[in-house]
Structure 1
Amino acid sequence: MKILIANKSHASYAEIICNTIEESAKVRGTGIARRTPEYIINKMEKGNAVIALKEEKFAGFCYIETWSHDKYVANSGLIVHPDFRNQGLAKDIKNVIFDHSRKKYPDAKIFGITTGLAVMKINYDLGYQPVTFSELTDDEAFWKGCQTCKNYDILTRTERKMCLCTGMLYDPEKKKKDRKKRELNDKTFTRLKNIKQSLFYKKERNNLD
């Protein structure tokens, strides 16, 4: 299995990608926004997608969306062909597209909205946290893209506060702060442990004397 950064040479897979996304939505009864082959090809040509291939057979796909002048990034359209499901491929694709997003847009917040528990678990393992929709991008183009979803009326009736989807966010700035805090706590713990050990050994020597 190969998971590659897609390019224009993979354009011939656009049709099956769109069909697989649509069929998956029907089976699960969820409202995935529809995409056209032209839209998918555009993502490939910009290097904003990854594709999984078993030899030359299509196995999976995911693409990058950018919003609010690249301040927000979404890893969208994650799909695995039925012939390759239940093998951990979705997680592998998600890892690759996440790493690609972090390298290409290092300062962007990465978010996703999903109804799938499996995707929620994958996102959580990558460091995403559940958030309210108010913490996602306010770019109108993003919300316009939700209009093809059958659950769009819920968004409009709740003023974008609630939906059947769950919003999840990876904030690189918050991760940096959390990491620095952990490092500081680790250093403090190490220093206290060394002091305690030093006092213990000093006491032991005094007892021996």
Structure 2
Amino acid sequence: MEIEISSSMHLMYVSEIQQEMYDSAQRRGTGIAKRSIEYLSKKISEGNAVVATENGEWVGFCYIETWSHGQFVANSGLIVSPKFRERGAATLIKNKVFQLSRDKYPNAKVFGLTTGLAVMKINSDLGYKPVIYSELTQDDEFWNGCKSCVNYDILMKKERKNCLCTAMLFVPENITKNGAAHTQPEIKYSNEMSQTDIEYPVQNSLGEFQMTIKNNKKSPDEKESHLSV
């Protein structure tokens, strides 16, 4: 499997990627905000995405977006083809797109919204922390991207303060402590998406987050098809 920063050579996969994003959202009942072929093609052509392939077939995809004049970066639309799930592809793609974000925008905060427990675990390993929505970009254009999600009405009724997604944030200045560089944890590839003990954040009535351990064995469809990352 090859995981590459995108280029025009990967445009051949854009229709399949967009369709799988839509199909996956429909199966889960929650959704990746719908993106047009033109939008995804632009991300791919500009090198603002990561594409995984194997023997000429697309394996997975994720892209980056910037908000608030480059103060925030989002890794969005993480998706893995059903044929290649349960092989650790999501973790490898997420690590690659996270590094791309850090290389292009080293001073930006990296954030994500997701309903996927596996993505929360990956983000936690990369140094993200669960936060309330007010810690994210307040750029209207970002939140308008949620309009195609089935949960948009919930988001608006709650005045963009929370929704079904968990917000997670990586802050660059937190990567060092007492002058020591932050070291990323070793990536485990063997069936990592079938872990049954997953630590994930739960928001209490005060808007505070606590970490909870729960046995949660997910189906193959739920493991590596995510809202945003």
Name the TM-score class by shorter chain.
0.7 to 0.9
Q: Deviations over 1:148-184 (max 9, x none)?
A: 11101111111111100000000002333xx12778x
What residue in structure 2 maps to residue 85 of structure 1?
A: 85
Counterpart CA distance in 1 for 2:31 and 2:25 is 6
RMSD: 1.2
Counterpart CA distance in 1 for 2:178 and 2:137 is 26
SS of the equivalent of 2:178 reads helix
- Name the structure where strand makes up a greater proportion of residues: 2
Tell me the CA shift for residue 18 of structure 1. Answer: 0.2
| TM-score normalised by the chain length of structure 1 | 0.84
Q: Deviations over 1:110-158 (max 9, x none)?
A: 0000000011110001000000000000111101111111101111111
Counterpart CA distance in 2 for 1:182 and 1:43 is 35
SS of the equivalent of 2:53 reads strand
- Structure number with greater Rg is 1
Higher normalized contact order (CA 8 Å, seq sep 6+, divided by chain length):
2
SS of the equivalent of 1:27 reads helix
What residue in structure 1 maps to residue 178 of structure 2?
A: 180
What residue in structure 2 maps to residue 163 of structure 1?
A: 163
Aligned AA for 2:62?
Answer: C
Point out 4+ residue stretches in structure 1 off by more than 4 angstroms. Answer: none
Q: Does 1:107 align with 2:107?
A: yes
Percent identity of equivalent pairs: 56
Counterpart CA distance in 2 for 1:12 and 1:182 is 43
What residue in structure 2 maps to residue 8 of structure 1?
A: 8
What residue in structure 1 maps to residue 66 of structure 2?
A: 66
Aligned AA for 1:129?
Answer: K
Counterpart CA distance in 2 for 1:156 and 1:29 is 18
Counterpart CA distance in 1 for 2:104 and 2:125 is 21
Tell me the CA shift for residue 52 of structure 1. Answer: 0.3
Q: Deviations over 1:25-44 (max 9, x none)?
A: 11111122111111111001
Q: What are structure 1's unaligned runs of at least 5 residues?
A: 184-209
Counterpart CA distance in 1 for 2:80 and 2:24 is 9
What residue in structure 2 maps to residue 128 of structure 1?
A: 128
Counterpart CA distance in 2 for 1:111 and 1:104 is 15
